[in-house]
Structure 1
């Protein structure tokens, strides 16, 4: 005898219908008929969506799920977070439309194989519901590793962008953002900005109208056996730490932020404020998980010239020309955009076997 747990069994129909009622369609006149999804997050018509849905928007039209009401409503972009690809829209609603349905953001609880539902408008097929599971809880985002995403198997396509990924309680565990689609075919690999990042971003956008992400501003890579081989070839005098992972500084330009804050080429960072780091996910989880802010001074434990040293290091912030970045990204719909040049990425060593972690 065996039992099969299904999303249908775990997520009741009425929960999905309530989430559908809080999901909106957002049309951006600046994109020649382009549209995406959004989700109401309070009862006054505040919508959360992807930034790329409203990129360069001069006029927005928004529709509710309501088979008896085909009217569209206007909305104003009141805050943006291009780094996480998020934005807030305030709807302009008549009094009789308030209060609106809305969903809560779940910022703490998700798990591998957890059942989830994606709601949106894939390829313009409005208010489509798809079922799936969380495949991974700690993927790095396509723009920066400081933005964590959930990988899931609920089918999404263009038009789902900005729509909610909900759990069995009807709470938003993520905002659907992009997918892997080789040969323009559904791959079963989709990504949603994770709930804790979403909540952090929303809080900052509401308070200040923008976000400021802490960052080391280092071009680093996990040190492993493949990397040691590469470094020994490129830097014959470099003596790599034995049986140590950590993050090694691969590039350091004179006058750069990291250079001015005391870092040196081939430094190996092994801890931040006493917390060990072995790969970029550790760095992200420390800086974002502890809600560090740009300008905070942290203590780095590093290996330099075979000695363990402490370094007081001031956190920077991620900078990007988001208009140019998303203009370029929009030329290749469906494919991950390049990393912004102002935030050094986690560099890859030339090798055939991939190291732990991914962009």
Structure 2
């Protein structure tokens, strides 16, 4: 079972370099790389920029036991014999949840998960020194489960640096700091178990998998490399019973930075839209075309009045590159299209009737399709 890192009792369910910042960037030197003696120096340096998040949402009407009784249940007879047994109007309580996050700018921008702040009426951020601030939700992106929030402090805040998630390899050291089950300041370590993991949770799956223990409440917290750089945002676990079994997933930092930059600009995400139904290339087609392995994305259907239709893409075309990016599978095409600013004209290389054809495509706006 794939489980967002949240408390099951609740229904509450990241930036380009910040130019001109006077941030007190926590950038460990080589001397702070994990020594044989442990992670103490590294954790001491990083922890001040990791925050703990508490949220409250709208109170929902609780269902009384009487409301849950099956039709025909002899309530009146039981109460006649034994006295009042059922509370008709149970007290409604605000929904509550918790999570983690990390500061990315001295003026208080913080990255966390969308599912941590989704539906929240109030968001409270607690720093490592127990100082608390009310936070504003700047923007969220449900498709990648990333959110950007902000607090206003009286002084510059410590931040952590971004790492290059494209350089991460299976076997690299990994360190998680967060707020599991409300136990703030919890540190766990392990390795990167896999990269580019597709767990079929959404169209932009490209997770870093780690065996560093992460649990509910770690949501939105940072996954660090051995140099103390953020390589991912802890988001989801695989857990038959709800606790850590050593299979956790983090949104890679390169994707998060793009999302955060977009959210910080205007609070929304601009994604490109093509308007095609796609499927992976089969082994049979790859063999016919002379490829060692299947690659590209096969267009099964072009939507009417879509950018794909206007560009002349057709059913059966195999997209090999899009916007100068190689397309190895359908996920590559989804991400390549999304990365193009709506209204931009780019090129696609397709295999059509035995030859490669280059087609100009003006990408549409995905948000307008979802509206």
TM class by shorter-chain length?
0.7 to 0.9
The question of whether the paired residues in 2 share the 8 Å contact of 1:7 and 1:116 is answered with: no
- Contiguous gaps of at least 5 residues in structure 1: 1-5, 230-238, 321-340, 344-359
**Greater Rg, structure 1 or structure 2?**
2
1:16 maps to what in 2? 43
Deviation at 1:146, TM superposition (A): 4.0
What's the CA shift for 1:100? 2.0
Q: Is the 8 A contact 1:133 1:153 kept in 2?
A: yes
SS of equivalent to 1:9: coil
How far apart are 1:286 and its partner, in Å?
A: 5.1
What is the match of residue 36 of structure 1? Answer: 99
CA-based RMSD of the aligned residues comes to: 3.2
Equivalenced residues, count: 300
* Separation in 1, partners of 2:232, 2:172: 13
**For 2:223, which of 153, 165, 183 is the aligned residue?**
165
2: CA distance, partners of 1:269 / 1:171: 35
CA drift of 1:248 comes to 0.6
Matched, 1:100 2:157: yes
Tell me if structure 2 keeps the 8 A contact 1:7–1:115.
Answer: no
Deviates more, 1:199-208 or 1:305-314: 305-314
Residue 59 (structure 1) shift: 1.0
- Residues 177-192 of structure 1 correspond to what in structure 2 (within 5 A)? 177-192=235-250
What are the residue-to-residue correspondences of 1:233-272 with 2, within 5 Å?
241=289, 243=291, 245-272=295-322
Q: Is the 8 A contact 2:215 2:243 kept in 1?
A: no
Q: Distance in 2 between matches of 1:171 and 1:155?
A: 18
Partner of 2:251: 193
Conserved? CA contact 2:275–2:303, under 8 Å: no
Counterpart of 1:121? 179
Q: CA deviation at 1:203?
A: 1.9
Q: Is the 8 A contact 1:161 1:177 kept in 2?
A: yes
Q: Counterparts of 1:194 and 1:151 in 2: how far apart (Å)?
A: 10
How far the C-alpha of 1:215 sits from its partner, in A, is 4.5
Residues 206-248 of structure 1 deviation map (CA, whole Å, 9 limit, x = unaligned): 223222133544321221227x69xxxxxxxxx9756463211
* Structure 2: distance between partners of 1:119 and 1:303: 47
- Of 66, 78, 81, 2:141 maps to 81
| Change in CA separation of 1:273 and 1:255 when aligned onto 2, cut-off 3 Å | closer
Q: Which runs of 5+ in 2 are unaligned?
A: 1-32, 58-93
- Equivalent of 2:111 in 48, 52, 57: 48
Contact 2:209 2:249 in 1 (8 A): yes
Residues in 1 aligned to 2:355 and 2:219: alpha-carbon distance in whole angstroms: 48
Alpha-carbon deviation of 1:81? 2.7
Deviation of the 1:54 alpha carbon: 0.8
Change (3 A) 1:272 1:92: closer
Aligned to 1:89, the other structure's residue is in SS state strand
Give the corresponding residue for 2:64: none
The alignment's TM-score, normalised by the length of structure 1, stands at: 0.73
Distance in 2 between residues matched to 1:307 and 1:318, nearest whole Å: 30
Distance 1:141 1:257 in 2: 29
C-alpha distance in structure 1 between counterparts of 2:250 and 2:365, whole Å: 23
Query: In structure 2, what is the Cα distance between the partners aligned to 1:342 and 1:139?
Result: 26
In the TM superposition, what whole-angstrom CA distance separates every residue of 1:271-300 from its partner, at most 9, and x where no partner exists?
235554221354367567xx6422222222
In the TM superposition, residue 164 of structure 1 has moved relative to its aligned partner by: 0.6
1:297 paired residue among 340, 345, 360: 345
